[in-house]
Structure 1
Amino acid sequence: MPRIPAAQRRSDFIKAAVEVIATHGIDGATTRRIAEQAKANLAMLHYCYDSKEDLFADVYEYVAGQYREVVLANDPHGDLVETARGLLRAIMVFYLDSPSFAAAALELVTWARRQHGNRGIAVYDQALDTLRGVLRNAASDQQAEPETVDQIAYVIATLADGFALNWYTYGDRAVAEEQMEVTVSVLDSWLAARLGTTPAAT
């Protein structure tokens, strides 16, 4: 049987940890369960990571990185309104298609805020910074104040988080898909009021 490189094993353990956290929560995310989810033995996990804290540090980076990838990969390179709508929709689609990620991210951020305040804030800050960066690029040719761009990033994050929590709570995909449209229409109305644009037809 070919030997699996340590870097690949660490990636496997990170993804396994996300699944276990989504199912069992932080307290139930034991190293044994994570190893079993990764289809590896416990000794290999301890070879890759000195402690569960070290593993969780990489899980935080993974969560922030996934969010960043979704935002950057779905930048429509349009105007500010088009970009804001596209980003909100892309984030919600990602949550819809990755329920374990959504559940684990919610669990990780709230747990980290309780246990390691700055770490929980840092993960959220990274996500907001990525949103702001893309929105600022879209606003470069428009008369949009930096404060307005920051507000749009906040509104997108708040709407996406609310959608994720509702999806995690009820798990009804058909309803969630309808709620995506409602959520985008809320953003449209806010943008119209703030920027003087016309809400997009749904």
Structure 2
Amino acid sequence: MTRLAAEERRKLLVDAAIRVMARDGVPRATTRSIVGEAGMALAAFHYCFRSKAELLERVAEEILARTLSPAREIVTGEGTVEERVRSGVASYWGHVVEHPDEHRLTYEITQYASRTAGLEVLARHQYRAYVDAHRSLLEALIEHDELTVARPVEDVARYLAAVVDGITLLYLNEGDADAARAALDVAVDHVLGLLGR
């Protein structure tokens, strides 16, 4: 394998870890199976990560980034506020429907971390990141359109994180994309009702 920069190696290992963990589950995803999936030597893992916990955190961050980055571009793009909010939610939802195993993996990471001594902080950090992501999207929208919000942004972000998380989990277990999408529309209606000029 050609020589890669450390950050590029980390990215390849995170992508490999997502594939392995989504396929085999978090407990069965060994460092050996992850480096094998990435086509690297075992030493590459220890060069890039201090521990499996650090890798799990990066995996959760990467899956979040795959949904957050497109949504941020949409909510600060062209169109009315309502069009952009609905399109941003549709972008997230498209990722859930197209990559359900990645989203199942985020729940598995949460459960694994919360039940593994020494990793409990990872589950808290993961959900703090979800609230921060929603707050970041709201703040970008508010700033872009000079909007006001009827409730504190942190409270709305926490509400959105809980609703989106719950609807996603319901869909992953129930399998009814239309019902989940309708529930997301209710949440969007509510949030739009909190925004004003």
Given the two structures, how large is their TM-score scaled by the length of structure 2?
A: 0.75
**CA–CA distance in structure 2, aligned partners of residues 196 and 128 of structure 1:** 18
> Paired residue for 2:99?
98
Asked whether the equivalents of residues 80 and 139 of structure 1 are also in contact (C-alpha less than 8 Å), the reply is no
Alpha-carbon offset, residue 191 of structure 1:
4.1
Deviations 1:52-74 (A, max 9, x none): 23433433443444444243233
Alignment of 1:121 with 2:124, yes or no, is yes
Q: CA RMSD in A?
A: 3.1
CA contact (8 A) 2:75 2:141 kept: no
> Is this contact kept in 2: 1:71–1:131, CA < 8 A?
no
Name which of 157, 162, 168 aligns with 1:164. 168
Q: Which ranges in structure 1 are unaligned for 5 or more consecutive residues?
A: 198-202
Given that 1:64 and 1:123 are in contact with CA atoms closer than 8 Å, whether structure 2 keeps it comes out as no
Q: Following the alignment from structure 1 to structure 2, what is the Cα–Cα distance between the partners of residues 79 and 152?
A: 20
Letter in 2 for 1:45: F
Q: Is the 8 A contact 2:9 2:48 kept in 1?
A: yes
**Counterpart position of 2:17:** 17
**2:8 aligned partner:** 8
CA change 1:180–1:70 in 2 (3 A) is farther
CA distance in 2, matches of 1:16, 1:72: 26
Within-5 A mapping of 1:169-180: 169=173, 175-176=176-177, 178-180=178-180
Distance 1:158-1:40 versus aligned 2 partners, 3 A rule? same
| Length-normalised TM-score, structure 1 | 0.73
What is the CA distance between 1:81 and its match in structure 2? 4.6
Q: 1:48 to 1:142 in 2, by over 3 A?
A: closer
Q: Following the alignment from structure 1 to structure 2, what is the Cα–Cα distance between the partners of residues 83 and 121?
A: 30
Q: Which residue of 2 aligns with 1:86?
A: 87
Q: Which amino acid counterpart does residue 118 of structure 1 have in structure 2?
A: V
SS at match of 1:74: helix
Give the drift of 1:189.
4.5
